Structure formats: structure tokens, C-alpha cells
């Protein structure tokens, strides 16, 4: 059995939905869990004791947990969340960056406030919590980071420019941390979940019944575990299907000398041909495939 005995796991946004499901399962598998949530609405307004309720549930079931009501959206909040883990349990082994809000609007209706709030929680929130955690992970030579991306960011979805930009940004953040963390035993991966939560139940319609948050839990638990040797990857968990998602580069077309716009037009079919694609693991890796 995959266990988290002697390990400390931080789950952000764990007062509801997916984060709560992760927190309960980590605790069941022996982790001491920091349940972080400011307890606001789907759009990020207000606050409540949602984190404490989840802690109470874990403790009632015989587990170990500590609540943090800090917002991930500021560097101070991120530091305080990691400090809760250190103060209560003495270390941090795993961070699941899961906190999120929605401010969906079509592009021309998007106000700066809707952009900033979404970037602050999803993208900067993951920086704010992961950076102080990374320092502890580096010192102990071990860590697991999981970032919550979305199909809306990787593939696109109408009305979600702010959310999609933040969610695609999280893939970039995870990829670079996978490279920077390699020397220190730190693995970093991203997930793209589909689950029925308060955020999505209206959007999913009849599919909602097949999308319990518990269906995403096994993937996140595995990626957070000692057993996981994967890093620098993205996975989709949707309706019971678990799949790797990657950005590949086609073999492409090579010009002799400087190409013109007309050359690009003339060679589009070869530029777009997917057969024989590569999946580079860094900028240098891509350049190597070009030189080969």
C-alpha cells in the first residue's frame, strides 16, 4: 500500500471539492495534513471555517491535521501556510497546489480585477506556497509538488482567458521546477482534473454523476508519493480515464538558409505533420532535436 507515514502534506484549497477529497485520503494513508482554505465563494469572496471542518473530520477519523485559513494569493499567506506545516508537524514533504476560483467572462468583458484575482490565486498562489516549501524540500533532499492545471488552459475553453492563462502557466511553473528540483530529489507534475464540485456541477450537466472528485484522488495521491519517480509530466483524470498529456514538436521542415513567409506557406503540410514528433524535456533538449 502506498502510505505517507512520517510525511507532511499541504493541500491548498482543501476546504471543499477536490482538495478536501485529497486531504481526507492523504490522512487515511498516514500523512499529517495541512488543510489550507480561506473558505470563500467560487469567485473568491468572503471566508469561512471550511478548513477547520475538514481538520475536524480527519481528527475524528483518527488522523492528524492542522488548519490554515491563510490566502495563497499573497507571498505572506504562502509563507504562513508552510509555517503551519513546520510548526505543527516539523517538515513538509508534499505540496498539492489546488486552491482556485473562477471569474469567467468573454474576453472583451474581462475587467482587470477578474484577471488579477484569478492569476493571484491560481498562478501566483502556487508560487507563493511552493517557494517556501521548496526551500525545506531542498534542505531535506526530498519533495513532491503537484500543480492543478486544467483542460481549459491546455486545450482552451470559451470565456476563460484569465483562468486558461493561469492554468497553462502552472504547467510552465511545474516544468521548470521539475528541472530545478531534480538535484534535490524533488519531483514536480501537473494534473488536469474533471470533477463534480461546486465549481463545475452546472457545467458538467449529465456527466456530473460520472465525475466524483474521488476519481481524481488516486492520480494525485500517486504523484505525491515516495513511489512516484515521474517528474515534468502532466496527466488528465476525467471520468475514470487517466492519461498523459504532453506538448510535442513535429519533425518539421528545415530551410537551407533564411526562410521567407512564402517558404513557410509552401511547407505547411510538413511543418504540421505529426508523425515522428518529439516531446522535449527542456529548451536545450528541443535544440538538440533540431540539430539532429
Mind telling me the catalytic residues?
163
Nearer of residues 137 and 195 to ligand NAD, judged by Cβ: 195
- Interface region with ligand NAD, contact rule CB under 6 A, candidates 25-33, 181-189, 198-206, 258-266: 198-206
Q: What is the contact mask toward ligand NAD in residues 115 to 154, using x (rule: CB under 6 A)? A: ------x---x----------------------x-x----
* C-beta separation of 134 from 176 below 8 A: no
| CA–CA gap between residue 22 and residue 10 (Å, rounded) | 10
- Cα 25–Cα 183–Cα 280 angle in degrees, nearest 5: 85
Provide the β-strand partners of residue 233. 189
Q: Of 94, 129, 194, 221, which lies in the binding site for ligand NAD, with binding defined by CB under 6 A?
A: 194
Interface with ligand NAD, residue 101, by CB under 6 A: yes
| CA–CA gap between residue 250 and residue 252 (Å, rounded) | 5
- Interface region with ligand NAD, contact rule CB under 6 A, candidates 23-31, 95-103, 127-135, 272-280: 95-103
C-alpha cell at 94: 508534499
- Interface region with ligand NAD, contact rule CB under 6 A, candidates 22-30, 97-105, 134-142, 224-232: 97-105
For 268-276, the CB contacts below 8 A with 24+ separation are: 274/248, 274/250, 275/251, 276/250, 276/251
Q: Of 58, 171, 195, 221, which lies in the binding site for ligand NAD, with binding defined by CB under 6 A?
A: 195
Nearer of residues 203 and 259 to ligand NAD, judged by Cβ: 203
In angstroms, the Cα distances linking 8 to 26, 35, 62 are 9, 11, 16
| CA–CA gap between residue 188 and residue 177 (Å, rounded) | 6
Q: How far is the CB of 198 from ligand NAD (least distance, A)?
A: 5
- Interface region with ligand NAD, contact rule CB under 6 A, candidates 14-22, 227-235, 271-279, 284-292: 14-22
Q: Of 193, 223, 231, 232, which lies in the binding site for ligand NAD, with binding defined by CB under 6 A?
A: 193
- Which distant-in-sequence residues (6+ apart) come within 8 Å of 116 by Cβ? none
> What residues make contact with ligand NAD under the rule CB under 6 A?
12-13, 15-19, 36-40, 42, 44, 50, 71-73, 98-101, 121, 125, 148, 150, 193-195, 197-200
Amino acid at each position: 500500500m502506498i502510505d505517507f507515514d512520517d510525511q507532511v502534506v499541504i493541500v491548498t484549497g482543501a476546504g471543499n471539492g477536490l482538495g478536501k477529497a485529497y486531504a481526507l485520503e492523504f490522512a487515511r494513508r498516514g500523512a499529517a495534513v495541512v488543510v489550507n482554505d480561506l473558505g470563500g465563494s467560487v469567485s473568491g469572496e468572503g471566508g469561512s471555517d471550511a478548513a477547520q471542518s475538514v481538520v475536524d473530520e480527519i481528527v475524528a477519523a483518527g488522523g492528524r491535521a492542522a488548519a490554515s485559513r491563510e490566502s495563497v494569493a499573497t507571498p505572506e499567506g504562502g509563507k504562513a501556510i508552510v509555517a503551519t506545516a513546520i510548526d505543527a508537524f516539523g517538515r513538509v514533504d508534499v505540496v498539492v497546489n489546488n486552491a482556485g476560483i473562477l471569474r469567467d467572462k468573454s474576453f472583451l468583458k474581462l475587467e482587470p480585477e477578474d484577471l488579477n484575482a484569478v492569476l493571484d490565486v491560481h498562478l501566483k498562489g502556487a508560487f507563493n506556497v511552493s517557494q517556501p516549501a521548496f526551500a525545506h524540500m531542498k534542505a531535506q533532499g526530498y519533495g513532491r509538488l503537484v500543480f492543478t492545471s486544467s483542460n481549459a488552459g491546455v486545450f482552451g475553453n470559451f470565456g476563460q482567458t484569465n483562468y486558461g492563462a493561469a492554468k497553462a502557466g502552472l504547467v510552465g511553473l511545474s516544468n521548470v521546477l521539475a528541472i530545478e528540483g531534480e538535484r534535490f530529489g524533488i519531483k514536480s507534475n501537473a494534473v488536469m482534473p474533471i470533477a463534480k464540485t461546486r465549481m463545475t456541477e452546472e457545467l458538467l450537466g449529465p456527466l456530473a454523476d460520472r465525475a466524483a472528485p474521488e476519481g481524481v484522488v488516486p492520480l494525485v495521491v500517486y504523484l505525491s508519493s515516495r513511489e512516484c519517480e515521474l517528474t515534468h509530466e502532466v496527466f488528465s483524470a476525467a471520468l475514470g480515464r487517466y492519461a498523459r498529456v504532453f506538448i510535442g514538436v513535429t519533425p518539421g521542415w528545415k530551410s537551407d538558409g533564411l526562410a521567407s513567409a512564402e517558404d513557410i506557406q509552401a511547407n505547411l503540410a510538413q511543418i504540421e505533420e505529426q508523425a515522428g514528433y518529439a516531446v522535449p524535456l527542456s529548451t536545450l533538449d528541443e535544440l538538440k532535436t533540431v540539430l539532429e
